Amino acid sequence: MNANDLIYDTITSKKLTYEQKLITLAKLAENSIDVLNIPPRTKHYFETGAINDLAEGHAPYRPRYIQADFGKFLKEGSKFLRLGPAKNLDQALTNLAIIYRHTPSITSFPVYVGQLDELLSPYVDGLTDDEIRYKLKLFLTYLDRTITDSFCHANIGPKATRIGYLILETQRELKNCVPNLTIKYDLKNTDEAFLKYAIETSLMCSNPAIANHIANQKPFGADYGICSCYNILPLSGGAYTLTRITLTELAKEAKSMDHFFNELLPECLKLIADYMNERIKFIVEKSNFFESSFLAAENFISKDRFLGMFGVTGLAEAVNFLLRDKNIKYGNSPQADELGIKIMDKITSIVAGFDALYSPLTGGKFVLHAQVGLDTDIGITSGVRIPVGDEPENFMDHLRHSAKFHHYFPAGVGDIFPIAQTAKNNSQALVDIVKGAFNLGVQYMSFYEQDADIVRITGYLVKRSEMEKYFKGETNLQDTVALGAPNYKASKLAERKVRLI
């Protein structure tokens, strides 16, 4: 379909809202020009699907993910936004709502709205719990209705706070998809009661997910945030770009195991590194993003705290394809898992040898990320997860498998587990499971009750009721419904193994 037809189909669509049409038209305009040097072999891998830039567009003019220092903003205000320091909770919530509107990302919405408990704790003294709940309810409802994209994330923890509990309590009532929420859990320092309350909340509304705070501090220290689905990135910075290798598609080109390991994999990885450097170079040297953004001018972000995320997905099907003659499967066979580990060791070694432009925080290197997938991924399992239908019978075996692979991904990796309804009667068991999994090396996990309206697709949240509207051809407020609904069907996510506790 040519550009004119795409534009016409967009402006006449019955499924897209006005805002969704506007964003789609902007993307079509961006993709109408080519400013990046893309060699023929890179184009080849784009065509096969072995390389995918996750809809970043042909002419990058902003970083993919931005995690601004909202704490600094609340304390100091903003000259550009003509806002002074926040002096009370009403001002803090209003000021945050304003700066979110001016914080871009690849989605055109903020993918990170901050460590909410830390941001708001200084402003709750003198207020009753009822007063705080009322204000939080208005604020969180505003976010859900105006940030109409589920790739938006807030964090709480690891310290248990009054406002942290109230955020979870409010989430139980609202059951919103935005923001996606994660509790940072420290095995040594987080009150177990806080984790238990968070897990019980998750069983009610699929929020929050749980991050291993100790493990996730390794790349950037405590100054990290979790944005979008579950991307671990430095505060006051973020990610310039995220391009992935789809191992499933690369394996299909392999004439032999040696061909895959010694020719295809090194070539494809090098082309991705070169491509990401092209994007980074254009953002920094040509787009003038950092020169024109008040976020940079007022030191809410720093160019030196951005990096390139090297995505990996489809490991399971790649392993299964390469071992197709042996009739064994990833996640169910030690030999298959050993091949998965061999592939990840090779990727880690090769990527460590590449130089990443304008990335001083990571020593001029890219950082690996287990990419969660796209609505167009058919027969490709997100990141290093086990495919739906192949999950081990034993929940503990599944978690042990996750622990073998999570450590490869400093920029984010996670697993999703539907939980039987009976778990609400024994939430302490889930607390013990999380603690045991994190001790094994699991870095991020999320739960949702098997019959909950809100489900996690690949990392983001969508309501089943909204997906039903989508399949009927109705418009939806959140654009991620249009991504999640086809993925939910195509990837048979309704058939994920439900874990009994």
pLDDT for 409? 98
Quick one: 350 exposed, middle or buried, by C-beta within 10 A (0-12, 13-18, 19+)? middle
Q: Encode pLDDT of 228-256 as tens digits.
A: 989 999 999 999 999 999 999 999 999 99
Contact by Cβ (8 Å): 381, 495: no
Q: Which amino acid is at 463?
A: K
Helix axis angle, 162-174 to 192-205, nearest 10°: 10
Contact by Cβ (8 Å): 153, 226: yes
pLDDT for 464? 93
**ω before 85 within 30° of 0 (cis)?**
no
Q: Which amino acid is at 185?
A: Y
| C-alpha pair distances (Å), 376 with each of 54, 146, 345 | 11, 26, 28
The DSSP secondary-structure symbol of 362 reads G
pLDDT for 88? 98
pLDDT for 487? 87
Other beta carbons within 10 angstroms of residue 472's beta carbon come to 7
pLDDT for 374? 84
Residues contacting residue 258 through CB under 8 Å, at least 6 positions apart = none
Other beta carbons within 10 angstroms of residue 355's beta carbon come to 11
Q: Encode pLDDT of 71-89 as tens digits.
A: 999 999 999 999 999 999 9
Contact by Cβ (8 Å): 15, 473: yes
Cα–Cα distance between 180 and 176 in angstroms, integer?
A: 9
| Structure-block tokens of residue 333 | 């066979």
The DSSP secondary-structure symbol of 83 reads B
Q: How many residues does the chain have?
A: 501
pLDDT for 480? 87
Cα–Cα distance between 493 and 501 in angstroms, integer?
A: 20
* 108: alpha, beta or left? (left if phi > 0; alpha if psi -120 to 50): left
Other beta carbons within 10 angstroms of residue 135's beta carbon come to 21
| C-alpha pair distances (Å), 408 with each of 347, 350, 373 | 9, 13, 18
Contact by Cβ (8 Å): 63, 283: yes
CATH 3.20.20.70 is the classification of domain 35-501: no
| C-alpha pair distances (Å), 281 with each of 36, 301, 308, 359, 500 | 10, 18, 11, 11, 49
Tell me the three state secondary structure of residue 90. helix
pLDDT < 50 stretches in the chain: none
Q: Find where tokens 């607390």 sit.
A: 431
pLDDT for 250? 98
Instruction: Look up the pTM and report it.
Output: 0.96
Cα–Cα distance between 220 and 373 in angstroms, integer?
A: 25
